[in-house]
Structure 1
Amino acid sequence: MKGIAPRRLRILFAVMRCPACRHPALEHDQACTQCGFSLDALAQSMGIPPMLSGPVADVAKVLSKGRRHSVQRAVHALHQRFPQVSFASVLADLSPEVPLALHAFWLFNKGSLFSAVERGGDNRGVLFLVDVPRSRAVAMIGYGLEPFVNETILEVCLNAASGSLAKEDFAASIESFIRELERQITTIVQQLPQALGYVEDKLWVDSSLGEDVAPSLQTVGGSDDLY
């Protein structure tokens, strides 16, 4: 619309922090220790949850058959590369009176998007929720991904989707989010061995013979530092 700047994605995260007050939350907390927010209280106010079918739940009915299949192919490619990750996208007309983060929290837990066995630390789900009329989006992850995927990474993924979302190209926004998510997870996987201090074992080479010491055996400091 002329005279109105393109909308920016609202970057919200509802798993690692309380979706109501943003206070840090733990997996087994029944309610937020800061504000008292709980899933049970939210469920009572939101009513009966919708039975959504992933990985693409187009509740707003804005995707053509072809565009829907395009998104499904992108999701399939992600799942082929990282089968441990469960991705779901939801496009809906959400109540503006309810904060977007609370919608995401409710649908993530009550929308039947993920398997019943994917609970707590076993949940490696990723939800990309789009509020279609207001071109807003939010990302949420399960507890199983928290040690690896932080808020900064989700922000990068959301920013990758922002351009298409501003143009109301919702299929492209989902695909852009997925592609960036795949890139980010690939980087995480590549960095994990180093982050955990793991180096492949190599044959010991006697340095007294003029050969280099195997990289896995190199250390900082003199011989007095050993043992």
Structure 2
Amino acid sequence: MGFGVFSTLFLWVLTQRFPTILGWNYYEILFISSFNMFCYSFSLLFFIQIQEIDYYVRNGEFDRILVRPMNSLFQFATIRFNINSLGTVLYSLIVLFYSGYHAKDWGIMSITQAIVLIVCGVIVSFSIHLFIGATSFLTMQSGGFFQLKEVIYENVCNYPINIFSQGIQLFLTFILPIGFIGFYPSAGLLNKSSTLLGDLVLPICILFSLVLFIVSYVFWNFAIKSYSGSGS
């Protein structure tokens, strides 16, 4: 939660110096930041251990999961509950309500869209972690990928990604699709230009989250089938 509070304060200080950034004001940028934070932290409530999956694989602990007659992903996801993320989830939800109240006039339709897009953001965050984690079955190492992901996320999650160069926007949209966690849903809800996705941002967010989950889950199962055990 400390990172979230710091991010909120930093954005306030930043927008005192620059009231708008490419047409985004303080409350709109704060909406992006809190949307990102909520979806990201909520996806890790039951799945924080995915960032340590290479440890489970190298030490043979994942082998025990594979011999049980249950879905391996479900078993792994329920190993432990990440109580540390609960504070961040609650804080980001409060900030999301606060910033949303000031950034837009809401109706039943827009509230429904927001709920759907929050679910999509959680799915995208979960799927990114799932895809990276699956590489452990092929390489026995995914820690470096998770560290790289974390560095990139912390440096871009608080801002509209269209402030970056087109190359970075393409990277955050199609290679490491962090933009679909918070930025694109926020742009669609607030009727802001998303540059790359245009006016179809809302349906694209929904479709992309479903496709990404399917791709990540298929890759997870493929990687497990290619896994020959920690002792081989």
Normalising by structure 1, what TM-score? 0.29
Select the structure that is richer in strand.
1
Q: Which has the higher contact order (CA 8 A, sep 6+)?
A: 2
Higher Cα radius of gyration = 1
Select the structure that is richer in helix.
2
Normalising by structure 2, what TM-score? 0.29
